[in-house]
Structure 1
Amino acid sequence: MTNIITYDDAAGTVTIQLSTPWGPFLATLAQSWGSILDKDWAVENGAWDGDCATWQNFYGVTSETSPLGKIVNGTGAYKLDSWTPGEEKVLVRNAEWWRTEPTAEGLPAQPAIDRVVLKGVSEWGTRFAMMQAGDADNVSVPRDSITQIDPMVGEWCEYNLETAGFDCEVLSEQPLRLFKGAPDVSRTDVFFTFDLNVEGGNPYVGSGQLDGNGIPPDFFNDIHIRKAFNYCFDFDAYINDALAGEAVQVSGPLIPGMIGYDVNGPMYNFDMDKCAEELQAAWDGQVWEKGFRLQVAYNTGNVTRQTIAQILQNNFASIDGKFRLEIIALPWPTYLAEFRNSRLPVAVSGWIEDLHDPHNWAQPFLIGTYAGRQNLPQEMWDMFNALVMEGVAETDNAKRAELYKNITQVDYDNAIAIRGAVVTTRSYWQRWMGGYYYNPIYGWDSRYYTLTKQ
């Protein structure tokens, strides 16, 4: 490490030599694990001093055992004034903060608010009363309580996917401003297993043959089956019934607002006629003649995933009763073990990003976590691997964007899963507050310095 990281105080630069080009490098550093601490201060307070002979003594520390777990020293716009765990955290403006130029037009260069108080208030009724009384500038609002607070909104700001900003409109003199429609950083998809593990028997595949009472282990190797499942999925019903109408159907494995994501990219639409056409073509007509029976699995208690399975079940049954999808809820440990062992024909599962970069979506979905559980054919995996590795090695964002648009097209052409929808966010603020903007890579503590208060 001492040889690959160098710095120049006079120039104000740090140079890190990577073993290979890595497109997500800046996105990786921008996450919490890239936070900067003063080394002398950290060592004085019991942290590792960089001695290669003692690293093992500091590996795998937890928040409870870390010598820095309850103290703070950083380079941020605010300093910790006080902290009562589980109740309150108070921040004060750092008068010696290093930034002299604003990060974007219209934002302040230095913090405009002297003191920030974060209160832990678990009960929604109390948070709502605080907003009503003007005792809180911003609160978290449960999705099932939005009808209670929406009448207090006088300014509505809708997220614009094209500009990655908000278009605001004042509709009344009510005291709140609502920012809505920005895409979240998690998603639920439907995964098909290409080569099912049936060793020792598999209860999820019926007879294990294409005889109308089951499916063979390689059932989803036929692209017509995979396309039929995509066409038979009612995305609008899913968004309206399971996601309260506030979500965006995605194109490909990436999520909106990301390098290479195309809002006009290819995506499957609900079309029962095309679903029937694909079923007629599948397995040289045998599927249409004989039907099939399989189980769709989700983890117990996840109502959203249950709804997805029910939509598929109902739509296939409406074509013909011989197309039978049986829904099974499995306890999480069982569900995860069966999914990892490639025993589930169809699994409804989700992903939340680790870092805000297209690689963190392309890799797990096409060659990593989910590709492994789906048992993608080697030829298909090799194709995706070449595309994903080319994307992650490119450091020019414009070139990366084109590479990921191509990845999205190939993903669509092969229909290896049903790509779902990204829930959109809501953020309620008093209208005397300004400076809010949405950047999914930022934690809340990174965002306070842009805020203003009249």
Structure 2
Amino acid sequence: MNKRHHMAFASALLLTSTALTSTALAATQKDTLVIQQAATITTLDPALAYDTFSLQMIENIYETLWTHRGGSLTQMTPLLASKLPTYTNGGRTLVVTLRKGVKFHSGNTMTCADAEYTYRRNLVTNNADSANWFIAESLLGTSENASKDKGVTWARIANAVKCNAQGQLVFTLPKPDPAFMAKMTFAGQGVIDKAWAVKQGEWDGREATWKSWAGKDLSGGKLAGSASGTGAYRLLRRDADNVMLVAHTAYWGGVPAIRNVVMQKVGELAVRQQAFLRGDADLIEAGTRSNVDAQLRGKSGVVVLDNLPTTRAQGIFMNNNIKSAPALGSGKLDGKGIPANFFSDPNVRKAFAYAFDYERFNNDVLRGKGTVRTMMLPDSFPGYSAGTKTYTYDPVKATEFFKKAWGGQVWQNGFVVNANYRTGHILGQVALELLKQNVEALNPKFRININVEPWSEQSVKFQRSEEVMIPMGWGADYADPDNFVTTFYSSSGFFYPTNNWKDANVDRWVQQAKETTDQATRNRLYKQVADAAFDQSPFIIFPEDTNVRPIRSNLKGATAANFNPMRSFTFTGTFIRELSKK
């Protein structure tokens, strides 16, 4: 982009930024991609990002060492590495040769010192809001930072990630981890610009200062709102509702055809759909399959990519230890609220699971294309337990378990449950409405209040155990079953504060599966986890369909063949740099 064009585009964005929440850049230009979604971008710091909406920008601003090749979940291709490394030292060491001449958006040249700083910073900060726990597990043998685990020392961090005399990056693991290379494809492991970051006031990378950054909250840091990566796009502007990127003209892979990217927060689905149909938006968060079929499929200028692979699991969480008094109503089993431990009785959880109409959800929301899941793990992943029992809609059994719950008090006194879904989460909203209808039909003393809240609020509340009941999903961070099984079922997993369900046997089986490379053993352990979870019903597991993605017909580079569900943040399963317009 020449200077004049760049300045004109920037001026247009500045003038229209206040209106972008309701209208897009009319008739989007050939070199401009407009994306509309329901939620805001919470951070641009790779060390902090752990939500889809932030990662979809980060993966285009920053780059990892390698990534998945095309649509494959097992084959990889180098990015900032010049070639794919191989394990040595009994599977404990990876020596990575980096590309030469790669430029950051600041103009600085990337060196091994930048990569070393990036991964050490991730291990040092590794706070509860980040995804760095699974990298720390691989490199340090613990998911915790130094403020929580005193065994985490500077020596361990420095020895785990270091540059050798040849300028190569060396990873040294305490024990073999066959999932490590897959973990390193996660967008939050993108290499950052050390000199630029330090100048912004971030950690300086020295041993003398590392302890004060251990587990530090990065949400107020400069990198949360500004960026200098090596990716094909650099940040032009970010405000409360919009992120604007422009092509990185010194990008090592060549300047992309799409020069300008506008990400807009547009809360109303109908508004997003109309902008998409007019051609004012090129990609949108399009809602459920039924929304796509009813409003977009077959319309002029629209192509629907269907039956795409998925690596997600979704369900309704029921919190066993609610830490928010206002959310509890009366706080008692008196028909006016619930106690904080209401869902700790498995009879309550089973009753709710039997009250959910899985077949209707499949037909109404997934257009009959869904598959009932036995566990919170994609059925395309190894370790999925196809032989585990599943819940079905059964109001007789639901009534039976409600009458057993809390010694009969639930049925006798009734309850009020406050359930929330995030803004724009149509699937979650419909699921709660179906559950509400069925549960309230069983007993006039039962009541479920459904409320909507912004993602920025909900993402904080569920990690503080303040949500009562919420629909929530998980997209794979890396292509290994442990990413789901630990996340959902382990008391050390990311979602543990969301439902506070714990089982000692399940914790042990999950850990054993994590430490073996024998797939048959892992499969057996995961079946035990799934069977135990069926008996206790910690979640109401949604049926899952294949992915469906509507795109504008003039958008090239997005196909079913190259759609990678591990890289679906831009709604196309590709990097934005791979796209162009006719």
The normalised TM-score by structure 2 is 0.52
Q: Deviations over 1:280-330 (max 9, x none)?
A: 7x379x7499645122221378676565455344434555x47x3212357
29 and 228 in structure 1: CA distance in 2 versus 1, 3 angstrom threshold = same
1:440 equivalent to 2:565? Answer: yes
Q: Which of 158, 161, 166 pairs up with 1:2?
A: 158
Distance 1:43 1:330, change over 3 A: closer
* Matching residue of 1:139: 283
Give how far 1:358 is off.
3.7
Contact 2:283 2:551 in 1 (8 A): yes
| SS of the residue 1:426 aligns to | strand
Structure 2: distance between partners of 1:44 and 1:337: 33
State the alpha-carbon separation in 1 of the partners of residues 208 and 323 from structure 2: 47
**Where in structure 2 are the equivalents of 1:297-312 lying within 5 Å?**
297-299=418-420, 307-312=430-435
Say yes or no: does 1:151 pair with 2:306: no
Inter-partner Cα distance in structure 2 for 1:68 and 1:195: 32
Cα distance 1:246–1:427, how it changes in 2: closer, same or farther (>3 A)?
farther
Q: CA deviation at 1:189?
A: 0.9
Q: How far apart in 2 are the matches of 1:43 and 1:195?
A: 40
In the alignment, residue 575 of structure 2 is paired with which amino acid?
Answer: R
Of 243, 249, 253, the residue aligned with 2:376 is 253
Larger strand share, 1 or 2: 1
Q: Deviations over 1:189-241 (max 9, x none)?
A: 1416389999xx97254339xxxx99898776665554333222112333455
1:227-242 alignment runs, 5 A limit: 227-240=350-363
Q: For the Cα contact (< 8 Å) 2:309–2:565, is it kept in 1?
A: no
**C-alpha deviation, 1:2, in angstroms:** 3.3
- In structure 1, distance between residues paired with 2:462 and 2:217: 29
- The residue identity in structure 1 corresponding to 2:296 is I
The answer to whether the 8 Å contact 2:329/2:338 transfers is: no
SS for the counterpart of 1:151 is coil
Q: Distance in 2 between matches of 1:318 and 1:448?
A: 48
Change (3 A) 1:140 1:434: same
CA distance in 2, matches of 1:96, 1:339: 39
Would you say how many aligned residue pairs link Structure 1 and Structure 2? 395
Structure 1 residue corresponding to 2:226, chosen from 69, 77, 89: 69
| SS in structure 1 of the partner of residue 333 of structure 2 | coil
Selected match of 2:207 from 24, 42, 52: 52
SS at the partner of 2:334?
A: coil
- Report matched runs for 1:33-432 at 5 Å: 33-37=188-192, 50-55=205-210, 56=212, 65-66=222-223, 69-72=226-229, 74=230, 78=232, 83=236, 89-91=245-247, 97=253, 115-120=257-262, 122=264, 124=272, 125-130=274-279, 138-140=282-284, 142-143=286-287, 144=291, 147-152=294-299, 176-180=303-307, 182-183=309-310, 185=312, 187-191=314-318, 193=320, 203-207=330-334, 223-240=346-363, 249-262=372-385, 265-276=388-399, 282=404, 287=408, 291=412, 293-299=414-420, 307-316=430-439, 318-319=441-442, 321=443, 324-329=445-450, 347-353=469-475, 355-356=477-478, 357-366=480-489, 367-368=491-492, 371=496, 374=499, 376=501, 381-395=503-517, 399-422=521-544, 424-430=547-553
Could you say if the C-alpha distance between residues 215 and 90 of structure 1 is closer, same or farther in structure 2, counting changes exceeding 3 Å?
closer
The C-alpha deviation readout for 1:409-437, integer Å capped at 9, x for no partner, is 22113223322345744242537834633
Quick check: 1:215–1:292 contact (8 Å CA) kept in 2?
no
For the aligned residue pairs, the C-alpha RMSD in angstroms reads 5.2
Q: What is aligned with 1:162?
A: none
The 1-side partners of 2:303 and 2:217 are apart by 44
Structure 1: distance between partners of 2:486 and 2:531? 15
Q: Classify the secondary structure of the residue corresponding to 1:150.
A: coil
Distance 1:419 1:262 in 2: 14
Flag the 1:350–1:204 CA change in 2: closer, same or farther, 3 A. Answer: farther
CA distance in 2 between counterparts of 1:13 and 1:352 reads 34
1:192 and 1:374 in contact (8 A); partners too: yes
Q: Which residue of 1 aligns with 2:110?
A: none
Quote how far apart the aligned CAs of 1:362 are. 2.9
Q: How far 1:31 sits from its partner (Å)?
A: 1.7
The 1:84–1:236 alpha-carbon spacing in structure 2 relative to 1, beyond 3 Å, is same
Q: Secondary structure at the match of 2:549?
A: strand
CA deviation after TM superposition for structure 1 residue 17, in Å? 2.3
**Residue aligned with 2:534, SS:** helix
| Larger-Rg structure | 1
Q: CA 1:412 to 1:186, structure 2 compared with 1: closer, same or farther past 3 Å?
A: closer
CA distance in structure 2 between the aligned counterparts of 1:283 and 1:180, rounded to whole angstroms: 41
Could you tell me how far apart the structure 2 residues matched to 1:126 and 1:49 are?
A: 45
Larger RCO (alpha carbons 8 Å, 6+ apart): 1
Q: In 2 relative to 1, CA 5–218 (structure 1 residues): closer, same or farther, beyond 3 Å? A: closer
Q: Which secondary structure does the structure 2 equivalent of 1:413 belong to?
A: helix
> Would you say the 8 A contact 1:183–1:256 is kept in 2?
no
2:416 partner amino acid: Q
The separation in 2 between residues aligned to 1:205 and 1:5, in whole angstroms, is 52
Kindly provide the amino acid, as one letter, of the partner of residue 325 in structure 1. Answer: F
- The alignment status of 1:25 with 2:177, answered yes or no, reads no
Structure 2 residue identity aligned to 1:294 = F
Call closer, same or farther: CA 1:450–1:114 in 2, change over 3 Å.
closer
Query: Taking structure 1 as reference, are residues 145 and 290 closer, same or farther at Cα in structure 2, changes over 3 Å only?
Result: closer
The answer (yes or no) to whether the contact 1:183–1:248 under 8 Å persists in 2 is no
Residue identity opposite 1:28 in structure 2: K
Whether the aligned pair in 2 keeps the contact of 1:296 and 1:348 (CA below 8 Å) is no
Give distance in 1, aligned partners of 2:357 and 2:422: 22
Amino acid at match of 1:139: L
Contact kept? 2:198, 2:204, Cα under 8 Å: yes
- Once the two structures are superposed, residues 70-127 of structure 1 have per-residue CA deviations (whole angstroms, 9 ceiling, x without a partner) of 544x3x6x466x9466585443798855xxxxxxxxxxxxx8x952234427574454
Provide the residue aligned with 1:105 in structure 2.
none
Residues 283 and 383 of structure 1: CA distance in aligned 2, closer, same or farther (over 3 Å)? same
Q: Is the 8 A contact 1:179 1:428 kept in 2?
A: no
What CA distance in whole angstroms lies between the structure 2 residues aligned with 1:317 and 1:45?
54
Aligned to 2:128: none
Counterpart contact for 2:333–2:415, Cα < 8 Å: yes
Give the unaligned 5+ runs of structure 1.
Answer: 98-110, 154-173
Q: How many Å apart are 1:247 and its aligned residue?
A: 5.6
1:167 counterpart residue number: none
Q: Is the 8 A contact 2:320 2:343 kept in 1?
A: yes
Query: What TM-score does the superposition give when structure 1 sets the normalisation length?
Result: 0.64
Q: Secondary structure, in 3 states, of the residue corresponding to 1:2?
A: helix
Give me the whole-angstrom Cα distance separating, in 1, the residues matched to 2:237 and 2:462: 42
Is this contact kept in 2: 1:228–1:276, CA < 8 A?
yes
